[in-house]
Amino acid sequence: MVTTTLISSEEYLAQEAQATHKSEYHAGEVVAMAGTQFEHNVIIINLIRALGDCADKHDCIILSSDILLALPECEKYVYPDVMIVCETPNIVRHEKRGLDILHNPSVVIEVLSESTASYDRTEKMDCYLKLNSLGQYVLVDSESVEVKTYTRTPENDWLMHTETDKNKTIVIGDCEVALNDIYRKVGF
């Protein structure tokens, strides 16, 4: 029999503010974050670079995976790979210890890896899509050229688009991004 000790979100936030490594909170359970593979990291940097100037023109902010995101309807706190915020950021600082928690991303981007792909495509996606501020969820494969975008319609439905042609572009937020730029210097 496996026994799991559950902690409250406040206990988690207090621990996370003092931690030397990142962990996520999943409805009482603390899940340590693993390191990433080379391709995963290169794709994140490429995305941030490709989105940078465009986001500035639209008065948006790009955030890396060092900002915690609150998913209150799922009782989770997670570190998405990239987020874009196009409204005034709703940031809560936990106990003045430097742990900032975002509550209103406009776009969330996850770069899929073998260990996280299933979770990012299912449970995590379900939680992200419940965020009222979210207009788009983007999944970028790190093992093959494939980008899936889920975009909220004015009717509050979600439209999915998949692109696998490196010579094409996709729209992320208000920005047009070439897949060649996303996968630059990735070895496939």
Residue 4 pLDDT: 60
Decide if 153 is inside a domain. yes
Instruction: Give 34's pLDDT tier (boundaries 50, 70, 90).
Output: confident
Residue 18 pLDDT: 86
Decide if 14 is inside a domain. no
**For the CA atoms of 158, 163, 167, 168, what is the dihedral angle to 10 degrees?**
-20
Q: Is residue 36 scored above 60 in pLDDT?
A: yes
A 10 A CB-CB count for 158 gives 14
Instruction: Give 3's pLDDT tier (boundaries 50, 70, 90).
Output: very low
Q: Is residue 16 scored above 50 in pLDDT?
A: yes
Instruction: Give 156's pLDDT tier (boundaries 50, 70, 90).
Output: very high
Decide if 53 is inside a domain. yes
A 10 A CB-CB count for 39 gives 18
Is the distance from CB of 105 to CB of 131 less than 8 angstroms?
yes
Helix (H) or strand (E) holding 5: none
Decide if 163 is inside a domain. yes
Residue 96 pLDDT: 59
Task: Summarize the confidence of residues 71-84 as an average pLDDT.
Answer: 96
Task: Summarize the confidence of residues 48-77 as an average pLDDT.
Answer: 94
Decide if 150 is inside a domain. yes
Decide if 8 is inside a domain. no
Q: Is 166 helix (H, G, I), strand (E, B) or coil?
A: coil
Separation CA 37–CA 117 (nearest Å)? 13
Higher pLDDT, 56 or 94: 56
Cα 124 to chain centroid, rounded: 10
Residue 2 pLDDT: 46
Decide if 116 is inside a domain. yes
Task: Summarize the confidence of residues 146-169 as an average pLDDT.
Answer: 97
| Residue for token pair 């359970």 | 29
Task: Specify the pTM.
Answer: 0.93
Task: Summarize the confidence of residues 146-174 as an average pLDDT.
Answer: 97
In the structure encoding, which two tokens stand for residue 150, read together? 């889920």
What's the domain count of the chain? 1
Decide if 120 is inside a domain. yes
Average pLDDT, the chain: 92
State the residue range of the domain holding 102: 36-182
Task: Summarize the confidence of residues 158-168 as an average pLDDT.
Answer: 97
Give the domain CATH number at 68. Answer: 3.90.1570.10
Higher pLDDT, 83 or 37: 83
